[in-house]
A and B are shown apart, each in its own frame.
Chain A
Amino acid sequence: AQSVTQLGSHVSVSEGALVLLRCNYSSSVPPYLFWYVQYPNQGLQLLLKYTSAATLVKGINGFEAEFKKSETSFHLTKPSAHMSDAAEYFCAVESYSSASKIIFGSGTRLSIRP
């Protein structure tokens, strides 16, 4: 069964520092992978998606993620954190048990220090 594991339930970085949020997936076939962001008291919004085209995927708000098959990873990065990046981030993988389902990780809360 497909699954994702997000390492670190809470990450704190200084404004201007590199953001790195970790995600590892489990899938027997090449997956579709997603990163979503949830700002306080809002629904989830798609940041970026990997659909087996390019391994480096660029998303909104300066975020990007790299698909590494050898490491089964899909880590999210941003070169320079901004205060507005404070939110919860979810990694997700398409489920092959049903082509219309997505499995979400448990989330990583990103805090930005001034």
Chain B
Amino acid sequence: NAGVTQTPKFQVLKTGQSMTLQCAQDMNHNSMYWYRQDPGMGLRLIYYSASEGTTDKGEVPNGYNVSRLNKREFSLRLESAAPSQTSVYFCASSDFGARTGLSYEQYFGPGTRLTVT
């Protein structure tokens, strides 16, 4: 199993350009997430998808859109990139279900380093 994969690994954009970050998981997980990581701020949730066909805003959704294409894939789109969106972006997935003793540990991809100039 590849786990969670993300493309691209690195990207440089100019202000105002758009791009889509791709994420796929092969663990048959229901839930998928997009985070951004900035120095000293830990991980902040941008959007998540609790199950196929649903998406919800996280802590910092402004300037982003997402698409849950199918159970495996969850993409993040920057419509008009801004320097404040320079960050490392992580996709994660987890197995969502009733509280039967299963924990909601999340499995992370390797990240995309995005620089907006």
Contacts and interface: CB of A to CB of B under 8 A. Distances in A.
A53 B103 CA distance: 11
B21 interface: no
Interface extent on A, as a size class?
20 to 34
A80 interface: no
Contacts of B34: none
Interface stretch (B40-48, B63-71, B77-85): B40-48
B4 interface: yes
Interface stretch (A13-21, A64-72, A98-106): A98-106
Interface in B22-57: 30-31, 33, 40-43, 45, 48, 50, 56
A46 B18 CA distance: 32
B106 interface: yes
B103 A49 contact: yes
B88 to A, nearest CB: 9
Interface of A: 9, 32, 34, 36, 41-46, 49, 51, 53, 90, 94, 98-102, 104-107
> Across chains A and B, which 9 residue pairs bring their CB atoms closest together, nearest first?
A43-B108, A106-B42, A44-B108, A104-B43, A100-B31, A100-B50, A100-B96, A104-B42, A51-B103
